[in-house]
Amino acid sequence: MRKRVLITGAAGFLGSHLCERFVKDDYHVIAMDNLITGRLSNLEHLMPKENFEFYHQDVSNFIHVPGKLDYILHFASPASPIDYLKIPIQTLKVGSLGIHNCLGLARVKNARVLIASTSEVYGDPEVHPQTEEYWGNVNPIGPRGVYDEAKRFQEAITMAYHTYHGVETRIARIFNTYGPRMRLNDGRVLPAFIGQALRGEDLTVFGDGSQTRSFCYVDDLVEGLVRLLHSDYTLPVNLGNPDEITISDFAEEIIKLTGTTQKVIYQDLPVNDPKQRQPDITKAKEILDWIPKVSRGEGLKITYAYFKGLSKDELFKKEHNNFEEYIK
Ligand code: NAD
Ligand code: UDP
């Protein structure tokens, strides 16, 4: 009998890679998404597979899945600052009502839940690199608060279901991850820079570019998530690549990679933009025997090849996503 896994946010960037991995590993994959920031085209290649099915559903409303369920991976949530600033209430709902529904379903089905938490729970961190013990520095009423606090609540309710109802739970704190199937216009720095290079526009660095991030290639992340799911560790685990870089150096790397003759221009730094971010992955190393293997150089080459293959229409598309359909 195949193990059955429900993946929410399946049509998004990370969700689609997870679906691919679990289909390949011969699980029965139930993919769920309301397509608010995701795209069915991310899952097209999986649709013909007999061990894959898709439910078009908002997980913030009651969810029903017939049959047994072994695992639930809750990845539904807008994830880029542009997205969650445009749809703040939906972001708060999917991080609270959405996970509540998943945990309720897990109780009924006796399934194990893994949640996609984030380095944003650390906010603008005063501890560097960030360890899981750090409680964070988040402005609850700032523009990023809708995302950061939803994710913090998500961790709290997940721990409560574990403690009070005995639900098996796993918490992944995911740091900036990139790869094919990111949306070119979701506003995140990597697709922003590559899109600008491909369209012949200048690269927009926010602030003075001295803020840092640490970028993890998607295949490494997926491997870490699978290992965490199958581990017996119930406290949060950081998953990310500790190779830290300033955003201005990152812009230079993209200029080199793409061969663009455009230059860097500087724009205002968004409010509460974290100044530094690097995961301490000691726990992941010790508990999961996991370290990221793909260097930024290799990962960027693969990702650039993907973006280069997109149509002109896609490259110049103005709208960010499907919001208009959802916000009346
Ligand atoms: P994404 O926007 O590509 O994917 C999110 C998916 O969730 C989309 O397909 C969207 O349509 C779906 N969704 C949103 N609200 C929903 C709802 N109410 N019901 C059903 N589906 C819904 O973003 P991503 O980068 O793939 O992120 C996936 C998850 O990983 C998110 O929870 C995000 O917070 C987390 N995460 C991502 C990163 C990263 O670097 N990519 C870092 C930390 C955490
Ligand atoms: N950023 C930038 N130019 C852009 C988009 C983003 O300089 O066109 C910066 C942004 O201010 C942040 C960093 O790049 O400091 C990473 O931004 P992203 O939105 O990708 O992720 P997050 O801030 O959530 O880590």
**Where in the chain are the domains?**
4-177+215-239, 184-214+243-275+294-327
Indicate the range of 82-91, 262-271, 300-309, 318-327 predicted with least confidence. Answer: 318-327
pLDDT at 317: 83
**Ligand 2, residues at Cβ distance < 6 Å:** 80-81, 176, 187-189, 192, 204-206, 211, 213, 247, 270, 273
Tens digits of per-residue pLDDT, 233-243?
999 999 999 99
- pTM above 0.95? yes
Asked if domains 4-177+215-239 and 184-214+243-275+294-327 share a fold, the reply is no
The stretch 195-210 carries a mean pLDDT of 98
Asked if 43 and 70 count as a contact pair (C-beta separation under 8 A), the reply is no
Indicate the CATH number of 184-214+243-275+294-327 among 3.20.20.70, 3.60.150.10, 3.90.25.10, 3.30.1780.10. Answer: 3.90.25.10
Reading the block at residue 275, the tokens are 């100044």
**Which distant-in-sequence residues (6+ apart) come within 8 Å of 128 by Cβ?**
276, 278
Verify whether residue 147 is a known catalytic residue. yes
CA 118/CA 78 separation, integer angstroms:
12
The amino acid at residue 216 is: C
Catalytic residue among 147, 161, 217, 304: 147
The stretch 115-137 carries a mean pLDDT of 98
The domain made up of 4-177+215-239 is a member of CATH 1.10.1660.10: no
Indicate the range of 55-64, 134-143, 288-297, 307-316 predicted with least confidence. Answer: 307-316
Reading the block at residue 95, the tokens are 């991080």
Question: Among candidates 191, 174, 209, 161, which has minimal Cα distance to 284?
Answer: 174
